[in-house]
């Protein structure tokens, strides 16, 4: 995930790897090109699909997700491969039909710029809910250990923006049991606010 923060370019540039997918956001259709070297995560990869969906807050809807092509064969056999990079595109459930003007997006970026340090504090309820979702997902796929703990993410200062996007990085910690022993994993990524056809989308890279 490191060094990849221009997910928004996928909204404007085509990829030779596959035809763009069309996702519906309310009454708006948005074309999402497949990133080169990646494949769409589908129901056919059920265990990984279930675990991936567990990371989506209840207030959001995941529109599409992509995983590295090299992870696809294992995912199709019912395994949950260690996916080190992924692309997710989401929309807030309350914002699917909300028309956002460019001036409104400018104001949203200003608010985010002024309050980014407070973002983790507002995620406590989401984090507890996602912990539960992960535990339920691991139980659903028959994982031996399903005790998951998430620490509040650390958000770094916004580092890039365009007229249609706003980017900031996130560091998170996941703790779990592995073969009866405590284990942890640090994840880094970039969250991007995107204005696309009058809708606010959230990309996580």
pLDDT in tens, 69-109: 999 999 999 999 988 888 999 999 999 999 999 999 999 99
CA atoms of 101 and 118, how far apart (whole Å): 25
DSSP 123-176: GHHHHHHHHHHHHHHHHHTT-S---EEEPPPEEPPP-EEETTEEEEEEEEEEEE
CA atoms of 30 and 8, how far apart (whole Å): 12
Note the pLDDT of residue 16: 44
> Which segment of 65-79, 111-125, 151-165 scores lowest on mean pLDDT?
111-125
Note the pLDDT of residue 127: 81
Note the pLDDT of residue 112: 84
How many other CB atoms sit within 10 Å of the CB of residue 111?
Answer: 9
CA atoms of 118 and 111, how far apart (whole Å): 11
pTM flag (> 0.85): no
């Amino acid at each position: 995930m490191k060094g990849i923060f221009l997910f928004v370019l996928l909204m404007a540039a085509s990829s030779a790897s596959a035809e763009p997918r069309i996702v519906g956001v309310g009454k708006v259709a948005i074309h999402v090109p497949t990133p080169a070297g990646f494949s769409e995560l589908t129901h056919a990869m059920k265990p990984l699909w279930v675990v991936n969906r567990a990371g989506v807050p209840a207030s959001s809807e995941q529109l599409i997700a992509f995983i590295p092509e090299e992870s696809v064969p294992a995912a199709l056999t019912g395994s949950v491969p260690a996916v080190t990079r992924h692309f997710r595109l989401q929309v807030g459930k309350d914002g699917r039909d909300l028309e956002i003007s460019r001036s409104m997006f400018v104001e949203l970026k200003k608010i985010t710029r002024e309050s980014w340090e407070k973002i983790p504090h507002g995620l406590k309820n989401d984090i507890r809910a996602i912990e539960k979702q992960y535990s339920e997902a691991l139980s659903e796929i028959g994982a031996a250990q399903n005790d998951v703990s998430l620490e509040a993410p650390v958000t770094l200062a916004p580092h890039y923006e365009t007229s249609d996007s706003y980017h900031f990085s996130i560091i998170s910690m996941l703790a779990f049991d592995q073969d009866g022993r405590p284990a942890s994993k640090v994840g880094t990524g970039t969250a991007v606010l995107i204005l696309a056809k009058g809708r606010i989308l959230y990309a996580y890279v």
